[in-house]
A and B are shown apart, each in its own frame.
Chain A
Amino acid sequence: MMINNGLDTALAAIVILAICLLGSSRLGLIIKLFALQSLVVSAIPFLLGGDLGIHKIIIAAGTFLLKVVFIPSMLFWAVRHVSIRRDTPSLLGVSLSLLLAGFLVGLSFFLAAQFPLVKITFSDLLIPSAFSTLFIGFLLLISRNKAITQVVGYLVMENGIVLFGFLLLETTPLVVELGIFLDIFVGVFIMGIFINHIQNEFDHTDISQLTALKG
């Protein structure tokens, strides 16, 4: 069991930021916390140890540009006309969501222990953090009403999946990584446009009130 402290701190910071995201209700704060979390994620390729190849630099730079610069600015652009900037969880409430997040973190550690890695090269916190971020992102997605928070929840899920992807940093071809970046960029772009449309059409971005289609 290897212990790599820079990496461990970064991974813990990612999960902590995810928990903070879950606890905040201001839209601006949520987007900024996501940007901060993505900053930490983009620093992780350098903390993994091993040599500093051009591959790692491109991936880190790509993650940084995409998730720390472009996507938060797109999200802020989409929010600029929204009148209500608060978003509290509808079903659960903040306290219960936080407790549920703590439970999910414990569940992630349990799950990680069930699946041994053939060749453990990095920290033993990597897989639990990845699962935790994934679960918390999913929780954020389904427990909130506003469209922007749902998009941020989806992006936090992506961050968790990206952490899994770091396990495979050597074997993933650059083309695929760039393709993933492109997908996320276009995805958030299109989501931003639709949030704009929804705001224009309905004068709010509360998804829970879009219930016209049934059956």
Chain B
Amino acid sequence: MIFMVMGLPLAAGGLVFILPRNGQRNGVLFWTALSHLLLVASFWIYPPHSALNGFFALDSFGIIILSIVSVLFFAVSLYVPAYLGNEEGRSNHVFTGCLLFLLFAMTVIALSRHLGLFWVAVEFTTLMSAPLINFHRRPQGLEATWKYLMIGSVGIALALLGTFFLAISAIQIKSLVLDEVLGQASLLSTPWLKLGVIFLAVGYGTKMGLVPMHSWKPDAYGEAPGPVGALLAGGLTNCAFLAFLRIYQICHAAGQTEFLRPILLTLGMLSIALAALSMLGQVDFNRLLAYSSIEHMGILILGLGLGGLGLYGSLFHSVNNAFSKGLIFLISGTLYQKYQSKRINHIHGVVRVFPWTGGLLIVALLAVTGIPPFGTFFSEWMILSAALTGRHYGIAFFYLVFLSVVFIALVEVFLRMARGVPPAALVERSAKDSWGTTIPPLLLAGLALLLGIYMPPFLDQALKQSSVLLGV
């Protein structure tokens, strides 16, 4: 079963390059996404067996991340035909092919138990997402993609170095399969482990977009089309977060959490602070969302660093954030299509002209800033209470300050875009919402809301199990 869930997107990706027509490719995308979703859903009920000598297995972290990725991909697969259908009549084989290979790589990340294989898959996601960013073929897109490729590749190379250091520290364990490392963690050589953790944090932190390795994120998210942004912000970042979870697991087993904690807290606070401050006065909508993504990544890492309830909150937040980011990036894609611009002052009067999109825009605002009853509120609240119970009063204070700054920045921008008079050109054209671009974001919004109101027991159980694995 595990091989099927990995092999399906891989085969589909290959198939897409052979098929002649755009419509067929969209069809392949949709059916693969649907099958993937159904398979992952079945994993909740019947957990699959491990494969290939323990190289691939599904633990509670894996199933959460895999489900997020699968749901997001399904929504994107519904959105893409409507989005591409409105673009110029180009062949979309590179686009759909890379999307499917991206799904393959993210699935491998969630399922991999060998840290080396994990790395291979993460690097593969960088490579497969680069062509997606340049979809609009603008010069700025080239610049953004090049920066993404270079910074991403260097970061991932450092992560490989960290993996090797980890392997050197595990030289007496003779294997880098996670279960074996965790089982014999007392044999890990501490100086090499610490060095490895530092490089892994820098490398995978670059992938996640933490400060100070974040400079590629505003450019890349700023230039990427909406659905790509949704996958990057909701899916890839969570896969990079999975890397941090694995690092935490190993450190916990080796008794080195006190070494890791300050690193996580620093990275988290820096990311939140810089992102919040950069959001003020931002003129480009997608770049604004990129900084929002950086901020949420900071929150995730902060929660991980705080420990206790923060671990549960952090994991819950990764789910909420994925859905809310997916929602807002799909909306941004629609807005770019309709208004032909990413600049905030060019987009106004959304509610008047596109009532559904406008409504979803407001909903997205609430979800991203963490207003109840959306799930994001509860996860951010859990992290705050973890800070208070752990007596990190300074952290709690600044956390609240920066979240307020973010709230102010986002509210101002979103409301300005939603209200007001729409541009005359659009009114003349009597542009309308289309089903294809409305249903997927609606779906994600519903999920974001649902998680706030009602926590499904299976999710709760998975989150609790994960917290146990992290040593709560």
A and B, direct touch (CB closer than 8 Å):
yes
A187 to B144, CA, bound (A): 16
Cβ–Cβ contact A161 & B139, under 8 A:
no
Shortest CB distance A145–B (Å)? 12
Against B, the Cβ 8 Å flags (1 = close, 0 = not) of A183-214 are: 10011001101100110011000010011110
| Cα–Cα distance between A213 and B223 once the two chains are bound (Å) | 10
Contacts of A211 in B (CB 8 A): 143
- Which chain A residue has the least Cβ–Cβ distance from B156? A183
Query: Measured between alpha carbons, how far is A98 from B130 in the docked complex, in Å?
Result: 33
Residues of A within 8 Å of B126, CB to CB, are 187
**A171: chain B residues within 8 A (beta carbon):** 167, 171, 174-176
**A contact residues around B175 at 8 Å (CB):** 171
The answer to whether the Cβ of B270 comes within 8 Å of any Cβ in the partner chain is no
Inter-chain contacts of A150 with B (CB < 8 A): 150
| Chain A residue with Cβ nearest B115 | A176
Contact B116 A215 (CB under 8 A): no
Least distance between B143 CB and chain A CB atoms (Å): 4
Contact of A183 among B123, B131, B134 (CB under 8 A): B123
The answer, among A161, A175, A179, A202, for a CB contact under 8 Å with B157, is A161
Report the minimum CB–CB distance from A150 to chain B (whole Å): 6
Per-position contact with A for B154-169: 1 when CB-CB < 8 Å, else 0? Answer: 1001001100110110
Chain A residue total in the interface (Cβ 8 A): 45
- Within the complex, which residue of B130, B142, B167, B219 is in contact with A201, where a contact is CB–CB below 8 Å? B142
Q: Of B161, B172, B219, B222, which is in contact with the most chain A CB atoms at under 10 Å from its CB?
A: B161
Listed stretches A14-22, A70-78, A114-122; interface member: A114-122
A93 contacts partner chain B, Cβ-Cβ < 8 Å: no
Query: What is the chain B residue whose CB lies nearest that of A180?
Result: B120
Q: Which residue of B lies closest to A163 (CB)?
A: B164
A172 touches B195 (CB 8 A): no
Flag if A161 contacts B161 (CB, 8 Å): yes
Chain B residue numbers with a CB within 8 Å of A115 are 191-192, 195
Distance (Å) between the CB of A90 and the closest chain B CB? Answer: 16
**Chain A residues, CB < 8 A from B140:** 212-213
B398-432 contacts to A, CB under 8 A, are none
- Complex interface: chain B residues within 8 A of A138 (CB): 154
Q: Which residues of A contact B149 (CB under 8 A)?
A: 187, 190-191, 194
Taking CB atoms and an 8 Å cut-off, the chain A residues in 142-192 that contact chain B are 147, 150, 154, 157-158, 161, 164-165, 167-168, 170-173, 175-176, 179-180, 182-183, 186-187, 190-191
On chain B, the residues within 8 Å of A212 by CB distance are 139-140, 143
- Chain B residues 84 to 134 lying within 8 A of chain A, measured CB to CB, are 114, 116-117, 119-120, 123-124, 126-127, 130-131, 134
Contact between chains at A194 and B161 (CB < 8 Å): no
B283 on the A face (CB < 8 A): yes
Q: A165-B164, A179-B120 are in contact. Are A154 and B154 (CB under 8 A)?
A: yes
Given A161-B161, A167-B164, A172-B116: A183 and B127 within 8 A (CB)? yes
B337 within 8 A of A: no
- A residues less than 8 Å from B157 (CB atoms): 154, 157-158, 161
Chain A residues positioned under 8 Å from B146 (CB to CB): 147, 194, 198, 207, 210
B139–A173 touching, CB < 8 Å: no
* CB of A141 closer than 8 Å to a CB of B: yes
Please report which residues of chain A, range 66-114, place their CB below 8 angstroms from some CB of chain B when the two chains form the complex: 114
27 contacts between A and B (CB under 8 A): A114-B191, A115-B195, A117-B168, A118-B171, A118-B189, A154-B153, A157-B157, A164-B164, A164-B168, A168-B164, A168-B167, A172-B116, A176-B114, A176-B116, A180-B160, A182-B120, A183-B123, A183-B124, A187-B123, A191-B153, A193-B131, A197-B142, A202-B139, A211-B143, A213-B140, A215-B218, A215-B283
New A-B contacts (17) at CB < 8 Å, excluding given A161-B157, A180-B116: A118-B171, A154-B154, A164-B165, A167-B164, A168-B168, A176-B116, A176-B119, A179-B116, A183-B120, A183-B123, A186-B124, A187-B123, A198-B146, A201-B139, A207-B146, A213-B218, A215-B282
Q: What residues make up the interface of A, taking CB atoms closer than 8 Å to B?
A: 114-119, 134, 138, 141, 147, 150, 154, 157-158, 161, 164-165, 167-168, 170-173, 175-176, 179-180, 182-183, 186-187, 190-191, 193-194, 197-198, 201-202, 207, 210-213, 215
Q: Which 3 A-B pairs have the closest CB atoms?
A: A179-B120, A176-B116, A210-B143
